[in-house]
């Protein structure tokens, strides 16, 4: 059975892969807190997310998020994914190398309100 949270997650994946930050921001709450454990980055609010997203898109303009598995309920989701692309610019603390990369990751999200 597909839930509202499943649909929201699918929208998030599609908009992230479209590289349209305004579409991604439209799906987020104003008080979003984004923590990237890999790079030790914590961004708060839509402005912080937009700054982080711009940095990542500059570093890897061909990046893609590929979902592998997920689980949802009416208040949260967890997703296993592979993030891949070509590192053409700097990631936080990691200078550009011009090579392809692939990173496995997990995201855990708590949803505050239905959209």
DSSP state of 56: H
Q: Residue 95 has which token pair?
A: 């200078």
DSSP state of 64: E
Q: Tell me the three state secondary structure of residue 86.
A: strand
CA dist 68 to 27, 75, 88, Å? 21, 21, 25
Identify whether the C-beta of residue 69 lies closer than 8 Å to the C-beta of residue 78: no
pLDDT at position 46 is 94
Encode pLDDT of 20-55 as tens digits.
999 999 988 898 888 888 888 899 999 999 999 999
pLDDT at position 79 is 93
For domain 4-110, the CATH architecture is Roll (3.10)
pTM of the predicted structure, to 2 decimals = 0.81
Q: Residue 79 has which token pair?
A: 């997703």
């Amino acid at each position: 059975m597909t839930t509202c949270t499943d649909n929201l997650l699918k929208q998030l994946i599609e908009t992230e892969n479209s590289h349209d930050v305004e579409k991604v921001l439209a799906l987020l709450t104003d008080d979003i807190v984004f923590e990237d454990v890999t790079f030790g980055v914590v961004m708060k609010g839509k402005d912080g997310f937009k700054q982080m997203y711009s940095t990542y898109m500059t570093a890897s303009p061909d990046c893609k998020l590929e979902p592998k598995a997920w689980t949802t309920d009416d208040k949260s989701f967890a997703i296993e994914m592979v993030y891949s692309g070509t590192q053409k610019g700097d990631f936080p603390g990691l200078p550009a190398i011009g090579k392809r990369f692939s990173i496995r990751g997990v995201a855990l999200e708590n949803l505050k309100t239905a959209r």
